[in-house]
């Protein structure tokens, strides 16, 4: 089982998710990206589509639209224009 890492999803209206995840998959402008613990630093442009977060309670899925993904020091931050919880 993979090591958990911190993930935060932020919109202009506030935080949509903050917690530990084991894996995150999100749409980028050039395809689907996956992030696990130990990922190298990343700054990328988000696309539109499904964000999947594997937490200790199971998989959470949200629909996101645009923004940026940032990985630094073991933390994934997604700044997005809009989130719709599935």
pLDDT at 80: 96
Per-residue pLDDT of the chain (86 residues; tens, 9 = 90+): 589 999 999 999 999 999 999 999 999 999 999 999 999 999 999 999 999 999 999 999 999 999 999 999 999 999 999 999 87
Domains and CATH numbers, the chain: 5-77 (2.60.15.10)
pLDDT at 1: 59
Which residue in 72, 78, 66 sits closest to 17, CA to CA?
Answer: 78
DSSP 19-47: EEESEEEEEETTEEEEE-TTPPPEEEEB-
* CA 40 – CA 83 distance, rounded (Å): 25
């Amino acid at each position: 089982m993979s090591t958990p890492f911190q993930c935060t999803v932020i919109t202009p209206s506030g935080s949509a998710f903050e917690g530990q995840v084991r894996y995150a998959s999100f749409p980028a402008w050039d395809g689907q990206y996956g992030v696990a613990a130990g990922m190298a630093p990343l700054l990328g442009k988000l696309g539109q589509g499904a964000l999947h977060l594997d937490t200790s309670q199971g998989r959470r899925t949200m629909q996101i639209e645009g923004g940026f993904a940032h990985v630094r020091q073991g933390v994934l931050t997604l700044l997005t224009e809009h989130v719709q919880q599935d």
